Amino acid sequence: MRLRRFFKKVPEQLQLHRRVGRNVVLSNSSLEDFVSIGDDCFLHNVKVDSFTYLSSRVTVMNTQIGKSCSIAQGTLIGGGMHPSKIFVSTNPVFYSTEKQCTETFADKMYFEETGRCLIGNDVWIGANAVIMDNINISDGVIIGAGSIVTKDVPSYAIVVGNPARFLRYRFEKKYIDFLLDFQWWNKDIKWLKENFKDFHDIEAFYAKYGHK
Ligand SMILES: CC(C)(COP(=O)(O)OP(=O)(O)OC[C@H]1O[C@@H](n2cnc3c(N)ncnc32)[C@H](O)[C@@H]1OP(=O)(O)O)[C@@H](O)C(=O)NCCC(=O)NCCS
């Protein structure tokens, strides 16, 4: 009760707007304000920007995630790599000093086990998607549920399936060019709050802001 009274007194600008669920590992990772991480998530070397949320059971490694992204349950981003060519075994005991199985025979790293992923702004990733290492997902992209993304995805594209194939763009080109230039995701919270209804129709949005 007393604690609640204390927090009520903390001015709005000093309050933290972050939520981290149960059984979450945040290793060398940072969260901006207005970020939510659901239960059972694992983040290693990850930066998450404002108004982005991760649902439950999301694993992300070595990735930068932009603003206003929605990442559904069970998604895996940048999960790591094993050799698929030349090496006799895929097991890291022969090429990695990380001791994944408590032991290694390698005296140094012989194979790059991780890559870096980039997730833009306003990206929606459906449930149980897998995004391979070293993939760039640009602004406005939608990734269908269960998709396996093996190639970079251009702005405002929708990709689905395994391997993920291009389905269509979310909007016609003039809207995409405008949105990429306008970058509403960089507006401050006051502007977003005041104008949220404009976001409900791309034509009206373009009519209002497209020529400024
Ligand atoms: C990607 C998505 C947004 C596409 O929605 P849409 O634009 O309404 O697409 P449609 O349902 O019209 O489907 C178009 C085609 O793509 C296929 N398709 C749609 N989603 C697919 C998916 N996730 N994987 C494979 N194929 C998919 C459809 O079968 C259809 O194929 P067809 O043209 O050969 O018949 C949606 O299907 C999806 O996957 N949403 C994610 C849902 C989710 O994960 N929710 C939980 C978190 S919020």
72 in contact with ligand 1, CB cutoff 6 A: yes
What's the fold here for domain 1-79+115-170?
Answer: UDP N-Acetylglucosamine Acyltransferase; domain 1 (2.160.10)
161 lines ligand 1 (CB under 6 A): yes
Question: With DSSP H G I counted as helix, E B as strand and the rest as coil, what are the percentages for the chain, rounded to 5?
Answer: 20, 25, 55
Q: How far is the CA of 145 from the centre of ligand 1 (A)?
A: 7
- Which residue spans of the chain are classified as CATH 2.160.10.10? 1-79+115-170
Distance 167 CA to ligand 1 centre (A): 9
Of residues 16 and 87, more confidently modeled: 87
Alpha helices in 20-111 (DSSP H): none
Chain segment 11-63, per-residue pLDDT in tens: 655 567 899 999 999 999 999 999 999 999 999 999 999 999 999 999 999 99
The residues annotated as belonging to the active site are: 82
Ligand 1 pocket residue status of 158, Cβ below 6 Å = yes
**Cα diameter, the chain:** 64
Residue of 160, 166, 170 to test ligand 1 pocket, by largest number of atoms within 8 Å of CB: 160
pTM, 2 dp: 0.93
**Tens digit of pLDDT for each residue in 132-186?**
999 999 999 999 999 999 999 999 999 999 999 999 999 999 999 999 999 999 9
With a 6 Å cutoff on the Cβ, whether 127 touches ligand 1 is yes
